[in-house]
Chains A and B, each alone.
Chain A
């Protein structure tokens, strides 16, 4: 088993939801659910994160924000859409400014439905995300010589995104 499944750090972004899912995500950190026992840390920093936990739908205003956070996360990474809004846009779906669910902006790996999603189902979603994460890391394990060439080229974030999108699809 790779170490990434034992120490998934997540960054949480709340799009345009009612904040209900946001609060349920924070509830996961409390003594009752305590996700840290799985090594999960809620970092506020996308550059340290492995999992992008996103609640709420994507609209014209937060579209570039979501994109940027996603691009700042180093590979391998997984996106988990938490709540009905993040899955499909939810009750906000037909608003004039809405683009829809999070998959309209970035590739989503795991969908956690619910309004609001229960902490148990969020944790379940993260565990499902771990399997994807492990697979992505295996795909990343390219020959050493090739890796060295990439390191020397200083992989730009944009290139990295395209690569992982291919790997994810």
Chain B
């Protein structure tokens, strides 16, 4: 009983803290990117200013259905994170996250704008690229720990990373897609202005756009939670290692973002699948052999 209360409390803590942490991470991202380009950059709290500003803007929608789907996107993104931090089932988390991205794609398809349509198609290609690896992550944890339960995984006797380095590399690769960082920032980039305006986001403005920002903050914290699973094990001090590795992963993604130009979607799809096949499957085969 007290276990269940503990789980729910940690889920609620996630609901409250994730937007704060996610927003700060986005702010730090912009600051570090600016420093790498020898600029001063906006204040770290800038994403919150942007959020509240968007919230106050006039709501304009080309198609009302858009709002419904974006609310679905936000709801499922929050829900999947809640399941994760309430120590739920990893498979449930991953499938709920997939529903969230499906909602986002449908919202982009809701308007007739060609930019939005192309953005939605690219978002689908991105989903195809990262989804197999997400499933392999869950499968890897199951093979190694014998359970999909997040609580049991962080209580394993040794660092999970030692047994699943390949899967971690695969996860890092697809995190670039999920964080929408440069080589794979195809569907809604700030850098594709010339060719695609803002892709899937082109027709979404004001409060609806603010909701997308919020959903991304929740999503990013959840994804860093997956990184955490690799580096935390039974002893009490290991969360420090986990959080440090989350920070390192996020920072290296920012570095990659600033060093790379954008890939074509064909390259993204094929390279993501090659990494999934080589690193992911080799690691899964090793884990099956170990059993």
Contact = CB atoms under 8 A, between A and B. Distances in A.
A96 interface: no
B175 to A, nearest CB: 24
Interface stretch (A34-42, A78-86, A111-119): A34-42
Given A34-B41, A48-B198, A160 B58 contact: yes
Contacts of B56: 2-4, 137
Given A2-B56, A34-B41, A45 B49 contact: no
Nearest to B196: A44
A3 B209 CA distance: 16
A151 B38 CA distance: 43
A97 interface: no
Contacts of B43: 39
Given A43-B198, A45-B197, A74 B205 contact: yes
B76 to A, nearest CB: 24
B57 A7 contact: no
A159 B122 CA distance: 34
Nearest to A137: B56
Given A3-B49, A34-B34, A47 B205 contact: yes
A35 B206 CA distance: 22
Given A6-B53, A47-B203, A48-B205, A74 B42 contact: no
A39 B54 CA distance: 13
Contacts of B203: 47
B37 interface: yes
Contact of A44 (B39, B57, B197): B197
A36 B42 contact: yes
Contact of A155 (B38, B60, B64, B201): B60
A154 interface: yes
B46 interface: yes
A31 interface: yes
A160 B52 CA distance: 21
B42 A75 contact: no
B58 A140 contact: yes
Interface string B50-89: 1011001111110010000000000000000000000000
B193 A4 contact: no
Contacts of A39: 42-43, 46, 49-50
Contacts of A6: 46, 49, 53
Interface of B: 30, 34, 37-43, 46, 49-50, 52-53, 56-61, 64, 190, 193-194, 197-198, 201-206, 209
15 contacts: A6-B46, A7-B46, A36-B30, A43-B190, A43-B193, A44-B193, A44-B194, A45-B201, A45-B202, A47-B203, A50-B53, A137-B56, A154-B61, A155-B59, A160-B60
Given A7-B46, A41-B190, 16 more contacts: A2-B53, A3-B52, A4-B53, A4-B56, A6-B49, A34-B39, A37-B34, A43-B190, A44-B198, A47-B60, A47-B204, A48-B201, A50-B53, A154-B64, A160-B58, A160-B60
